[in-house]
Amino acid sequence: MRIYVPRDAAARALGADAVARAVAAEAERRGLAVELVRNGTRGMIWLEPLLEVETAAGRTAFGPVSAADVPGLFDAGFGAHPLALGPVEAIPFFARQTRLTFARCGLTDPLSLAEYEANGGLAGLRRALGMDGRAIVDEVTGSGLRGRGGAGFPTGIKWATVLDAKADRKYVVCNADEGDSGTFADRMIMEGDPFVLIEGMVIAGIAVGADMGYLYVRSEYPDAIAAMQAAIAIARDAGLLGRSVLGSDRAFDMEVRVGAGAYVCGEETSLLNSLEGKRGVVRAKPPLPAIAGLFGKPTIINNVISLASVPVILEKGAAFYKDFGLGRSRGTIPLQIAGNVRYGGLFETAFGMTLGEIVEEIGGGTASGRPVKAVQVGGPLGAYMPVGKFDTPFGYEEFDGQGGLIGHAGIVVFDDTVDMMKMARFAMEFCAVESCGKCTPCRIGSVRGVETIDRIARGDAAGVEILTDLCDTMKDGSLCALGGFTPFPVMSALRHFPEDFSASHKEAAE
Amino acid sequence: MKDFVIPWDADRDLGTPPSRSEEMVSLTIDGFAVEVPEGTSVMRAAALAGIPVPKLCATDSMEAFGSCRLCVVEIEGRRGLPASCTTPVAAGMVVHTQSEKVRRLRKGVMELYLSDYPRDFLTSTANGGTELQEMAGVVGLREIRYEPGDNHAAPQRNGEANPRYLPQDDSNPYFSFDPAKCIVCSRCVRACDEVQGTFALTIEGRGFDSVVSAGMAGDNFLSSDCVSCGACVQACPTAALQEKSIAELGMPTRSIITTCAYCGVGCSFKAELNGDQLVRMMPYRHGKANHGHSCVKGRFAYGYASHKDRILKPMIRDSIDEPWTEVSWEEAITYAATRLKALQQTYGRKSIGVLTSSRCTNEETYLVQKLARAVFLNNNTDTCARVCHSPTGYGLGQTFGTSAGTQDFDSVEQADVMVVIGANPTDGHPVFASRMKKRLREGAKLIVLDPRRIDLVRSPHVEAAHHLALRPGTNVAAISAMAHVIVTEGLIDEAFIRERCDWDEFRDYAEFISDPRHSPEATAPLTSIDPAELRAAARLYATGGNAAIYYGLGVTEHSQGSTAVMAIANLAMMTGNIGRPGVGVNPLRGQNNVQGSCDMGSFPHELPGYRHIKHADVRATYEDIWGVTLDTEPGLRVNNMLDAAVAGTFKGLYCQGEDILQSDPDTRHVAAGLAAMECVIVHDLFLNETANYAHVFLPGSSFLEKDGTFTNSERRINRVRTVIAPRAGYADWEVTQLLANAMGGDWTYTHPSQIMDEIAATTPTFAGVTFDLIDEKGSVQWPCNEARPEGTPVMHVDTFVRGKGKFIVTEYVATDERTGPRFPLLLTTGRILSQYNVGAQTRRTANVVWHDEDLLEIHPHDAEQRGIKEGDWVKLASRSGETSLRAQVTDRVMPGVVYTTFHHPDTQANVVTTDFSDWATNCPEYKVTAVQVSLSNGRTEWQEEYAARAEQSRRILPAAE
C-alpha cells in the first residue's frame, strides 16, 4: 500500500509530520507493508494535511487529517470515513484547474528524478538540446510567457536580449525571494517539484549561452532551500547539471544562494547586488540586467514560476501554451488565494477568470462568512479591489486598466470588518520598513506617509491632499516598484473607501 | 599679477561622466537639436546644450546613481518620468526637461528632503551656496507641508532626545561631518569608492535608518580608513561635509588656479580666498594631472605657509655659534655677496656653489643655476634630484635618449598590466594611485616589486596578481630575471625590436641575459623571490596586453640605481611596451618639480635640456645671451661639494629650498661639510636643519606666493600663480636676481614670464613654451616646439628620441653594503601619506594627527628575537651612526628587513644611512643600509646633542630699534 503525506511546509505547519509518523507507526503496529511517500502539496490548504492513498481507481484523498485520525483511517481500510474526500483529482477546487506548471506538484515524490521523468519531466530539455539558442528563445517568445514575478515583461524578449549580448560569461539567476504577503507559489513548486525549476534554468542557460545559474531563495524558506539543494545534488549526479547536460556538449551548473531577509532583495537589481555580496540596494536601470547584470555580465533574471513554466512550453510547444489565456496574458497563472477566505490555496488556471469568480466561486467567499469588503491582489503593493470591480478578468492589462496589478498573483481577501485606513497605513509602514533607502521618495516618503495617515486619523482633513500629492511623488519618482507601487494600496483604499478616512469614521470606531 | 581668463566654460558640472563613444547620436531637448556621443546621459546632453537639469545625487566625476529623483524629465513615447542621469540618449529622442508633471514631482521630492532637514534651512546662512539650497530655489519650494515628524535633524523630539540625531563629527582636523545636514545622496560614499578608491565610507542601515558612516561601528572619520583626500567633502551637495575653514573664515569670494607644491603628480588647484585670506584649496576639475581629485596634503596641508615658524625677515650672523640678527634685504644681500666674492678671491673661482630645489619653480631654478654658471663662473650647481631621480635621467637618457617619463597620467586608463617597482603610490603619489586603483578595479592586472607589502598589494577591490617581495638591493637581479624569462621563453616583440632598436645590439643583450645565471631560479637566493612567481609575473608583463611600468625611488636610490633604470627600459623595449597610450616607463617623481629642476640645467654637467657642458655649441647659445664665457668643465656634485668642504677647498654655498642636512645621507658627514664652510646662505621658509649651519638666511616664498611654472612627472608644465603676495616682500626669483646683481650680474628680469622666454629661446625642447600658451591650454607637456606646438603627451611614438632604442647589458653587482653579525638587518626607507619629505611643511600642519613620529617597522620574528614589543623605544644603528625611535611590529616587512620614514628631524633616519651611492650619478643608496636594532630607553646621545645644538643655533636676537 502506498500512502502520500505532503512534505510541503504549509502541510507540515498543519501537522503533516505527525500524521506521517502516525501512519508509519500504525502500519508497523498492524504489520502492514506501507510505502510512505512525502509528496508535494496539491495546494488545497484548507484540507491539509491531505493524506492520499493509491488505489486501483487512482489516488483517494482524506483531509484534513490529524495524527489522531490515523488509526481510524486504517480501521476503515482507507475507505468510507468522515474525512474521505474521494478521488483527489475530482475535488472541485482541483478539478477546475489547468495544471501545466504545477502538473507534478503533489503527484510525485519531489526528489525522485525517475518519477519526474516518468511524468513528463525532461522532455522539454531534451527537445531544447536539439535546438539552437535562437530557436529556444523564439519558442519562449512565441508562447507569450510573461514574467510571473509581477512585472509581466515578456520572458522571450528578455532572453533574446541576453542571447544577443556579447560577453565572455552570462548568467541565469532565478528570483526565489518570494516576499509578497499571501503568495506561496514559488515555495510550493520548489518544495513540490524542484526538478521542474532546475530544468527551466538549464533550458534558459543553453538558450542564451550561460553556463552558471544562481537560485536566490529567501532565508525564510528553509524547506525550499533543503529541497532545492537536495534536488541539485541529485541532478548533478544524474548528469542533468554539469559539464555535459544530459550527455550533450552544453554545460550548465547552478547553486543556491540564501537571502538575508530583505523584501527589497526580491527586486531584481537589489537581488543582483545581494548576490554579489553588496548592500541590497536598487540599481538604476538602464543598464538592464540582460545587458549588465550579475557581476556586470548579461543575465537572465526570472521568477521561479516563469522558469518553471519553460519546460512545459518546450515539451508541448509554444502554440499549446499560448492557447490558454486572454488578451496579452497567455498561458496559465498559479493564483494564490489567501486571507479571510474559505478555500485558500494554489489554483492554477488560464488567465481570464474574473476576480469575482475567483473569490466567490473558487475561494468560496470569506472564512468568517461575512461579506467581502476588499481584495488585495498582487502582494503588499497591489491595489485593494472593491467588490464593485469583481467583474475584472484576471490579466495584466485588465488589472492595470482598473488601477491595479496582478503582481505575483497573490489574492488576499478581507471581510467587512477591515479598516481600510489601517490597511493604507500598513502599506506605508511596510514600505518604510522594507525600503532600501536609496531613493528619496521611498526612503522619506514612506515615513511621511505613515505620519500623514495618522494625521488624517486625528481628523485633520488637510492630510488627504498631502497624502495624495505624496503618493504621486512616490509613484512617479521612486527608483523601483517598492516605493513606486506603495501608492496603489494606499490610493485604492482612499479612493474606494473614503468613509474609512473620515473623522466621523474615526469617532465611530472609538 | 596677470589676469587669468579660464578658457573653458568654467566649473559647470555636466552631471555624468563623458562617453568615450565615437558614434554620435542626434536628439531634441526642449526643442533644440543636440548631437552627443552615444552613451551620453540625457542629463549631460542637456547640460551640453546649455540646459541644466536640476540634480542632487549626480556629479560628472562619478557614475550616475539615480537616487535623488530631482533630474526627472519627460521623454516622448516613454512611460513615466525617467531620471535623466541614468537614461542614455537615443537617436531621435524628444526630451522635455520641464512640464507640469515634472515640476510637481521635483517639488514633491524637495519637500520630502527638507521635511528631514533642519527647519531653518531656507533661511540659514550655514547652507549658503550649497547645491541643496540652489536646488530648493530652482524647484521653487517655499513651504514644507508635512508636520514635524520623525527626523535626523533635531536634537530633541517630543521633549526627549531624538535617537536618530547624531552629533557633528569633528574628528578630522580639516573637515566636519554634520549628519543633521546629510540628505543621504551617497555622493560622499561614491566619491570615496569611485574617485579615491579607499572605500572608507558606507551607508549604514536601510530605509529611513540610512546614514552615512565612516568605517565600522564606533568609528569616526579619523579612526576609519579615511585618508582625508577631501573627495567626499568636495562631492557633498549640502553643508553636511564641509571644510572647517569655511565655518571659521566664511565663504570664499574669489579664486585663482594654481599648482600644488607637494609630490610629482602636480595637481591643479583652485585656491579660494576671502580678500587675501586663503579659505580653501579645491582640486581643479580641469587640471589635467588630477582631473579634480586631491590628497590630504594638497587639499588641506597648506597651513605651513602661514605658520608662526615662517621667517619673514632676512638674517645674518658671522658665526654659526651666534644668534641670528634680523637685517634689511639690502644689508643681507650685500653681506652675502661680499662674503661670496671674498671667498672666490681667497679660495678661487670654484670655491663656491649653489643648490637648486625641486620645490621651486622652473624659473627660480633656472636663475639659481644661472647664478653659478654666469655669475660665479663655475658649474658648481646641483639639486636635490641628485638624491632621488638622477639615475632616471641617466638611465632613460642612455636607453631612450631623454630623461623623462614616457607617458601622461591619462595613459593608465588604457593599461592592461601595471608594474609598480620601488614605489608606494598610495602614499607617495596618492592622486595618481587613485587613478591606478580605478583602472585595476576595471580589471587591469598588477605586479608589485617591493620588499614591503605596500597598500596596493592588497586593498579594497585591488589585489596584485604578483607581489615579488625582493630583498632590498637586488632590483637589477630581479628585473634581469624577468627579462631572462621573456627572452628565453620567446615572449619578445621581435617586430618592434627590429624596427625601433638596433637588432644586433639586442642580440648581444639577448645572449647576455639568456645566460642561466640570470634565471629566476639562479637569482632566487639573492632576491628571495619565488622563481615560479617571478616567471608568472614576467609572462604577464610580456603577454598581458598594454603593460606600463611605474617606478619610484626604490629603483633609483641604490648603488645600481642607473642600472636598474636601464633594466626597466630594456623590459619595455623587448616587449614593445613603449610609444603608445597604456604602456611606457614612468618614473614617479617625489617632489613637485623634480622633473623641472632637472630640465633646467641644475646638474653640474648639463645645461638646460640635458645638454652636456662640454659641447661648445650649447655653451655658445648661453654665452651669447649671458655675455660671459662659461666654464667648460662640469662642476661639483653636492657630495663632492661636501667632501671638498671637509677638505678645505669649498667654502660657500647658496642653498635654495632644500634641507640637505636632513635629506642627504650620512648626516654627520653633511654636518661636517657645512660646518667647514665660511658662507652658507639658506633661502627657505623656515629655519631648517641646514640653517643651523648658515650665516645668511633669506626668507623664501611658499608656493602660494610664487609666480612661475612647475613640471610634473608626466613632463606637464603647469602654471603656479600668485595667490597671496610674497610675505617677506620678494619672490624667490627676485631674491636670486638681487644676489646676482650684487655680485655684478646685471640681470633685468621684471616678470617670471621673461625667464621662461629665455628658457624657450635657449632650450629646443621648450622652444614653444610661453606663459600665454600655458594659460591658454591649461598646461603643456614638453617637448613643445615647432614640431609639436601643443606639446607631447606620449613620447617615442614613431622613433626614440635618440633614434634607435639602446639595449644595455645590466649585470647585477651586489652593493658593498652587506649585512653581517654586527648589522644583520637591512633598513629601507620611504614615506607616508600624510607627511612629505623632510616634513618641513607637513609637520607644521594638522597632518601630524596621522603621523607624529617616525616609526620603525620590524617583522614579528625579528622583534621577538630582540624582545621588542609594539611601541618600544629601539636603537637603530649602522656603521654610520645611530638613532632611536619607536617600533611598530608588522609583517608588512619581511624578516630581515626593517623600514622607516624620514619625516621628522628628531629621528634623523639619515644619521644611519651610508655614503654608498649610484655608480653613475652618486644618487645615495638610501634604500639599503645594514643595521642592528635593539631595545633602548629613549633618545640617543646624538639626538640629545643635536636637539640642543638646533635650539642654540636658532636663536634670533631682538631687532635693534
Query: In this predicted model, what pLDDT tens digit does every residue of B886-922 receive, in sequence order?
Result: 999 999 999 999 999 888 877 777 778 888 888 888 8
The arithmetic mean of pLDDT across residues B398-427, rounded, is 93
Decide if A413 contacts B186 (C-beta within 8 A). Answer: no
**pLDDT recorded at residue B126:** 66
* Residue from B100, B146, B202, B211 to probe the interface with A (highest A Cβ count within 10 Å): B146
CATH architecture assigned to B24-139: Roll (3.10)
Query: Three-state SS for A171?
Result: strand
Decide if B362 contacts B759 (C-beta within 8 A). Answer: yes
CA distance B12 to chain A (A): 24
B679-684 and B696-699: which strand pairing?
A: parallel
Decide if A341 contacts A163 (C-beta within 8 A). Answer: no
DSSP string, B172-205: SSSEEE-GGG-----HHHHIIIIII----EEEES
Domain architecture of chain A: domains with CATH: 2-95 (3.40.30.10), 119-321 (3.40.50.11540), 324-415 (3.10.20.600), 420-509 (1.20.1440.230)
**pLDDT recorded at residue B952:** 85
The arithmetic mean of pLDDT across residues A111-120, rounded, is 97
> Are the Cβ atoms of B108 and A472 closer than 8 angstroms?
yes
Long-range pairs for A77-83: beta carbons < 8 A, 24 or more residues apart? A78/A1, A78/A3, A78/A53
CATH architecture assigned to B156-306: 2-Layer Sandwich (3.30)
The model's pTM is: 0.91
Q: Among A432, A451, A473, whose Cβ lies nearest the Cβ of B108?
A: A473
Query: CA A299, CA A288: separation in Å to the nearest integer?
Result: 9
Query: Three-state SS for B368?
Result: helix
Quickly state the pLDDT bin for B9 (edges 50, 70, 90).
Answer: low
Read off the C-alpha cell for B586. 614612468
CA distance A506 to chain B (A): 20
**pLDDT recorded at residue B910:** 77
Read off the C-alpha cell for B271. 585656491
Q: Where are any strands of DSSP class E within B661-729?
A: 679-684, 696-699, 708-711, 716-720
Quickly state the pLDDT bin for B6 (edges 50, 70, 90).
Answer: very low
Query: Can you state the percent helix, strand and coil of chain B, rounding each to 5?
Result: 35, 20, 50
Query: Three-state SS for B897?
Result: strand
Neighbours of B916 (CB within 10 A): 21
Query: CA B474, CA B928: separation in Å to the nearest integer?
Result: 10
CA B111 to chain centre: 44
Decide if B345 contacts B644 (C-beta within 8 A). Answer: no
Query: CA B832, CA B813: separation in Å to the nearest integer?
Result: 30
ipTM score here? 0.92
Decide if B364 contacts B736 (C-beta within 8 A). Answer: yes
Q: How many helices (H) does chain A have, and how many strands (E)? A: 24, 16
Lowest mean pLDDT among A490-504, B431-445, B485-499, B525-539: A490-504
Which residues, in sequence order, are CB contacts of A207 under 8 Å at separation 6+? A128, A133, A136, A137, A140, A159, A163
Half-sphere exposure of residue B71: CA atoms within 13 angstroms, side-chain side: 30
Task: Name the residue type at position B932.
Answer: Q
Q: Is the pLDDT of residue B961 over 70?
A: no
**pLDDT recorded at residue A376:** 97
Length of chain A: 510
**pLDDT recorded at residue B2:** 36
Neighbours of B295 (CB within 10 A): 31
The arithmetic mean of pLDDT across residues A446-473, rounded, is 95
Long-range pairs for B200-203: beta carbons < 8 A, 24 or more residues apart? B200/B224, B200/B225, B200/B226, B200/B227, B201/B226, B201/B232, B202/A279, B203/A279, B203/A281, B203/A437
Q: Among A286, A432, A476, whose Cβ lies nearest the Cβ of B86?
A: A286
**pLDDT recorded at residue B79:** 87
Q: Is the pLDDT of residue B448 over 90?
A: yes
Q: Is the pLDDT of residue B938 over 90?
A: no
Length of chain B: 961
Which residues, in sequence order, are CB contacts of B346 under 8 Å at separation 6+? B651
Q: What is the pLDDT of residues A383-413, one digit of tens each?
A: 999 999 999 999 999 999 999 999 999 999 9
Decide if A190 contacts A224 (C-beta within 8 A). Answer: yes
> Are the Cβ atoms of B146 and A451 closer than 8 angstroms?
yes
Is the preceding peptide bond at A64 cis, omega within 30 degrees of 0?
Answer: yes
Fold match between domain B315-322+331-388+594-781 and domain B825-952: no
Q: Among A443, A476, A479, whose Cβ lies nearest the Cβ of B66?
A: A479
The contact set of B with A (CB < 8 A) is: 64-69, 72, 80-81, 83, 85-88, 101, 104-105, 108-109, 111-113, 115-116, 145-147, 149-150, 183-184, 186, 202-203, 205-210
CA distance A52 to chain B (A): 47
CATH class held by domain B315-322+331-388+594-781: alpha beta
Q: What is the pLDDT of residues A425-446, one digit of tens each?
A: 999 999 999 999 999 999 999 9
Domain B390-587 carries which CATH code?
A: 3.40.228.10
CA distance B56 to chain A (A): 11
Quick one: closest CA in B to A433, which residue? Answer: B207
Decide if B557 contacts B321 (C-beta within 8 A). Answer: no
Q: Is the pLDDT of residue B8 over 80?
A: no
Q: What is the pLDDT of residues B105-157, one digit of tens each?
A: 999 999 999 999 988 877 676 666 789 999 999 999 888 999 999 999 999 99
Query: CA B921, CA B932: separation in Å to the nearest integer?
Result: 28
Task: Name the residue type at position B590.
Answer: G
CA A366 to chain centre: 22
CA A104 to chain centre: 16
Delimit the domains of chain B by residue range.
24-139, 156-306, 315-322+331-388+594-781, 390-587, 825-952
Quickly state the pLDDT bin for A18 (edges 50, 70, 90).
Answer: very high
CA distance B90 to chain A (A): 12
Quickly state the pLDDT bin for A286 (edges 50, 70, 90).
Answer: confident
**To the nearest whole percent, how much of chain A has pLDDT over 90?**
95
Neighbours of B259 (CB within 10 A): 30
Query: CA A183, CA A381: separation in Å to the nearest integer?
Result: 12
| Beta-bridge partners for B464 | none
**pLDDT recorded at residue B954:** 86
Query: CA B214, CA B219: separation in Å to the nearest integer?
Result: 6
Query: CA B13, CA B201: separation in Å to the nearest integer?
Result: 23
Neighbours of B538 (CB within 10 A): 28
B67 contacts on A by Cβ (under 8 Å): 284, 438-440, 479
Read off the C-alpha cell for B713. 612627472
B182 contacts on A by Cβ (under 8 Å): none
Most confident range (mean pLDDT) of A129-133, B607-611, B831-835 is A129-133
Q: Is the pLDDT of residue A500 over 70?
A: yes
H runs (alpha helix) in B326-448: 329-347, 362-370, 390-399, 425-428, 430-441
In whole numbers, what is the pLDDT of chain B averaged over residues?
A: 91
Task: Name the residue type at position B942.
Answer: W
Half-sphere exposure of residue B340: CA atoms within 13 angstroms, side-chain side: 28
Query: Three-state SS for A3?
Result: strand
Task: Name the residue type at position B779.
Answer: S
Task: Name the residue type at position B424.
Answer: N
Q: Is the pLDDT of residue B7 over 50?
A: no
Decide if A429 contacts A443 (C-beta within 8 A). Answer: no
Which of A376, A369, A344, A378 shows the shortest CA–CA distance to A93? A344
Read off the C-alpha cell for A115. 518519477
Query: CA A195, CA A232: separation in Å to the nearest integer?
Result: 8
> Are the Cβ atoms of B88 and A286 closer than 8 angstroms?
yes
**B825-952 placed in CATH 2.60.130.10:** no
Decide if B386 contacts B380 (C-beta within 8 A). Answer: no
* Residue from B105, B117, B162, B189 to probe the interface with A (highest A Cβ count within 10 Å): B105
Decide if A349 contacts A383 (C-beta within 8 A). Answer: no
Angle between the N-to-C axes of helices A194-208 and A222-237, in degrees from 0 to 180, rounded to the nearest 10: 60
Q: Among A285, A446, A466, whose Cβ lies nearest the Cβ of B146?
A: A466
